[in-house]
Amino acid sequence: MKDTRSPSPTHTEPFIMSPHHCPDGETEAQREAATIRSPSRARPHPQPEATLPGRGHRVLVGIWGCRRNSSARPCEQDRRRDWGHAELLEVLEARVRQLQADHVSEVTAKRVDVAQLPGAGGSQPPKKIQAGDEGTALELSGRWAQKLDKEKIKMQERKPQVEMKLQQLEMKLRQRAERQARKQQLRVEPQLLSEQLADRLQRWEHSTPRSPWKEQLARLLQEAPRRLSCKEEHGPSDRVSRMRREGQQQRLLAFLECCVLVDQLPLAHHVLVMRHSRSRQRRMLTLPMFNTVLLGWARKGSYKELVYVFFMMKDAGLAPDLLSYAAALQCMGRLNQDASTIQRCLKQMAQDGLQVQELFTSLSLCRGDKAALLKAVRRAEPTFRPPPPSPPSPQVNTSPLLRDVYDKSHPESYPRQHLPLKTLKSLFQEQLSMEMATTVTVDSVEKAPPLTREVMQARKTLKKLRTSWETELCLALRQTKASEAHAAREGRPSIFPYLCLLSEEELAQLLLQTLQVLPLQGESLLSLAQQLGLRIFSRHVVQKKQLSDEVQALQRRYFKYLRLLASDTRMVVSHLPRQYWEALGAPEAPHEQPWPLAVVVQLGKQLAEVLVQTVKMPGHLAQHQGTHNLIPVLYHVYSFRSFRQIGILKPHPAFIQLLETAAERTMTFEAAEVPMLCPPLPWTSPHSGAFLLSPTKLMRSVEGTMQHQRLLESCPPTNLHGALDALTQLGNCAWRVNGRVLDLVLTLFNEKGCPRLGVPAPASEAPRPPENRLPAGASPERKAELRRQLARCLKVAREMHSLRTDALYRLSLAQHLRHRVFWLPHNMDFRGRTYPCPPHFNHLGSDLARALLEFAHGRPLGPHGLDWLKIHLVNLTGLKKHESLQARLAFADEMMEKILDSADQPMMGQKWWMEADEPWQALACCMEIAQAVRAPDPTAYVSHFPVHQDGSCNGLQHYAALGRDSVGAASVNLTPSDLPQDVYSSVAAQVEVFRRQDAEQGVQVAQVLEGFISRKVVKQTVMTVVYGVTRYGGRLQIEKRLREISNFPQEFVWQASHYLVRQVFNSLQEMFSGTRAIQHWLAESARLIAHTGLAVEWVTPLGIPIIQPYHRDSKVLINGGIQSLTFSSTGDTSQKGLTFVSVHDCFWTHAADVTIMNQVCREQFVCLHSQPILHDLSRFLVERFCSGPRSTNVRVARLLDMLLSVPKTGTFNLEQVKHSTYFFS
């Protein structure tokens, strides 16, 4: 009930005292112990009264803040229980004093109540001792003394046990009393401070000094929970319990943040109060949880609720930080709080060691919060001015590999975009609109069927069904929200606030889009749930940025950034794009923490269940059913994958048939799955870069794993500069679609494909299973053979459908972006390999995918550009791998007639390009050469074609350089030579030698393999063996190559592949002895690390932290070397103004710049391997895994011996690489 009494005008309202501060030098635990122990302190001291400005509620004012002047009184039962607890503590304390006394006579009582005896006549006064009875009295007193002495000895023996039991009993009683008090105090959702908590705080405030033994008891009571928590922390299940605890905390924090975002702040407050009222759950609460609710109340201007959260924070033993005080000051600023209260808050901040200036320099707040904060501070300090933003840190990466990149003594010539500033600004607006819409609709390139009556009826039926489904889904979602809201109010796990992030209509559209793209064979329920949850999270992040002023700030900053990239601006700056972006403004707003995987899956499962239960269609649409009853469109099935039973959501065949008949010509993609229409944001941190609004990770990993992100966040920022700048430069490369190649591919695609050229055929062309039925008495062997045939047909059909869908996505996006310029933002995986973020259309992948793209910015060929185009064409054909560059150039001139014929009549001429190893890229190169040679001046012809320089088995090149292996270095072109060395052909030749020897000894499989061992058969295994491929994986690779040989006897495939993989490993052992020694050292080190129960961690030469999610050997090291070479080469080439793109160990640039790129790659390779990589790795692993208390373990000792046994290196001179023509060619 509202209090109508007039407020007292003589008192002002002080701010909350910090939780760790108490007057009179007493600790909180001492005051709490004294409060519980002394009944005389149960009554609080009277407090002055005041009224909040602008409020009619009468409040009590004390040193801890304001509370409601409630008229509610505790019931008599609660009062008796509290006094009973206090009396019991009195008895326990007396017992402690008795045990601590040296003599029984020293035991004293605080108060003795003497009962009044009735004055009855039967009661006689005590008599004096008569003469002669003294001896008897002494004898009796001696016996009593002996008894007392014995009892004293027994008590002294039992003293430690009793003390321990007393401590445990006291702690239990205290915890029980606190639980019961909180149940009464926080049973319902409070809006103001409860009277019990206020009384408790006042008892702490006004308690009196205590005697030494009281201080000791209070200290024991204070240390008992800490000792118990330490005991639990160091228990055997410490790691599991800690991970479970962190997971629960992450889920609760995400829940509270989501509640605040969707304007469900009372629910967040209610859940926080319920958790705080339970002692076990109170220990789970963290400071960010309280700060989240504090900020919510601060933005609403609810000071009383904010004060209550502060009290709960103090009661949980947490001290406020900068964000806590910022929330309080914001609230005061919005309410025009009086200056004295704000001054006390600022004084309290100073006592906690926090400065006012830090509120404006260390926190990222939106404009409204900053304005309210500044208003409050200036009310207390009118002359205050917020400090200017600090300039960006001048620190740079000191790695020798990047010394030239960050050397400011040389003038920079960073590549600019080929578009003017006005055009780039317009493209930014298009990209921003696309990301705010979160989805992109693209027309399909599949040939449209004729509009027959059947097609029209199917489309009409589908449209009608979707309309009814959307209505029913909205209704079902409302019911689900109501159910989840009820669960949240009762304290049960709930996804209610997550469902409120989007409207029912948006969620319904999302579910219908999911239904549209569900594959024929169904989707794993877990995978589908994860996809749904992540899509909602992405939309939530985008919407949150739209609601704040972040979008406007981003636009202003991006327009300034474009002046560095535009072609019509001439800014002279000595900064990389990342450095220039950081200098343009304050740091970005705090990134949105990803939801825990459990929340994502739970949310997705709930939505999937709604979809299954709601979406139904008439039964007459299914075959052989004439009923009009509704049947589910989706249904659950179970399947086994790798001996694991999983749930699958599968669409009804009738629904699939309806979709195929309707043949709709549109498809929907997420905005982050489509290339960008403007240059990406520069990477500045592990969570800031790439897309404008859509969240993107710097290091991609399996959803739910946090090790990589935590490593990156804990890494010194300068260590990431090399990777951040390289990824930014890779993303700044502008692309366009090669329209001539796209037209030819679309023609073949809509004519049932051409698998020989890499154009997938539709699933309708898949081989049909045998239709003849088995006779009744068929043998088990015949039945097994039929099952195998059916499985093979099903496998081929699924693979064809997958390839066809992938090609459909790629070609549809290419058609959508035809005549447009676009960009591909990049990130990296845990090994350091770079990847474009858009998954469906990029320059990675097959020959067809690469042929569709070319640089949007062209460069004149110059004097040598045409020669490099011809050499690149010959490399794509695979015809002159063992010939010199001059011989390849001469071969191209000889084949010029066929080259021009391929360019002019690709499908009707001689079709020479179809015989190449990479036919589509060869055709694109033929077209580029034809235009160049027909130009009036070929040197002035502006070419957009990317020329590739590929390493000669780059993994083996890194191993040979690590081990200074002269023989291995010569085999992989690290040494100068007149002709290129082909390691794959060398391995094939060595395998052939072994095969011939075994065939002469009568080995059957060796005899069968005669004439079938080729470079192509062994290439993939040789290429991947340096990345940690096992014999099992290598056998599968060789098996696939053997099955592609039409005349190879298929019954010997398994034996032949098993034999060949063994001979490939033997050949590599002979040819690369130093390489195999390093691989063995790495493999054994990783194996021993795995035996200690930890994953392999290390730091790349550029300083990037790496952790393996699995226990392998050398895979990470070599990938880290390739990544370091890529990043350092990217920095040097960009500094020289080159357009540079990498596909792992294959580097792309314009034909005119190939010579410069080759020089940079060689110099960086030598610089990389001039570092003591193996010794640095050994030192790091020893410090990481063999130091500390674990060093005495036997397994750790074996690991230490292995890590210190670094393989010896050979005598190869790295400087020879700079003069090797075929190192990259």
Q: Return the SS3 of 685.
A: strand
Query: Do residues 554 and 429 touch, judged by C-beta distance below 8 A?
Result: no
| The two structure tokens encoding residue 340 | 């004295």
Q: How far apart are CA 686 and CA 698, in angstroms?
A: 5
Least Cα distance to 312 among 295, 298, 328, 294 occurs for 294
Instruction: Assign 495 to helix, strand or coil.
Output: coil
206: exposed, middle or buried (Cβ count in 10 Å: 0-12, 13-18, 19+)? middle
Q: Is 10 exposed, middle or buried (0-12, 13-18, 19+ CB in 10 A)?
A: exposed
Q: What tokens does 1027 get? A: 């990345």
Report yes or no: 1144 and 833 within 8 Å, Cβ to Cβ. yes
The four Cα atoms 111, 117, 123, 126 give a dihedral, to 10 degrees, of: 20
Distance CA 1082, CA 1117 (A): 9
| Three-state DSSP state, 49 | strand
Name the nearest CA neighbour of 485 among 637, 268, 331: 268
The secondary element (H helix, E strand) that includes residue 475 is: helix 453-489
Q: Of the residues 404, 806, 950, 998, which is catalytic?
A: 950
Using the 8-state DSSP alphabet, how is residue 676 labeled? B
Count Cβ atoms below 10 Å from residue 441 Cβ, excluding itself.
10
Nearest to 734 by CA among 823, 836, 854: 823
Burial class (CB within 10 angstroms; exposed 0-12, middle 13-18, buried 19+) of 215? middle
> Is 408 labeled as catalytic in the residue annotation?
no
With helix as H, strand as E and coil as C, how does 843-901 read?
Answer: CCCCHHHHHCEEECCCEECCCCHHHHHHHHHHHHHCCCCCCCHHHHHHHHHHCHHHHHH
Torsional class of 959: left (φ above 0), alpha (ψ -120 to 50), beta (otherwise): alpha
Is 950 a residue of the active site?
yes
Q: Indicate which residue of 870, 1019, 1115, 1136 is catalytic.
A: 1019
Rounded CA gap, 727 and 836, in Å? 10
CB 960 within 8 A of CB 882: no
**What size, in residues, is the chain?**
1225
C-alpha to C-alpha distance for 507 and 8, rounded to whole angstroms: 53
Round to whole Å and give the CA distance between 269 and 296: 10
CA distance 1037 to 1039: 5
Residues 6+ apart with CB under 8 A from 693: 432, 435, 436, 541, 542, 545, 546, 551
Which tokens in the block code for residue 814? Answer: 């290419």
Contacting residues for 958 by C-beta, under 8 A, at least 6 apart = 1026, 1118, 1121, 1122, 1169
Euclidean distance between CA atoms 169 and 1110, whole angstroms: 48
Q: Which helix (H) or strand (E) holds 439?
A: strand 439-443
Residue of 1133, 1131, 1127 whose CA lies nearest to 1158: 1133
Helix, strand or coil for residue 684? strand
Torsion of CA 842, 844, 849, 855, to 10 degrees: 60
978 is a catalytic site residue = no
**Sole residue written with tokens 């085999």:** 971
Exactly one of 847, 901, 1145, 1153 is catalytic; name it.
Answer: 1145
Residues with a catalytic annotation lie at 950, 1019, 1145
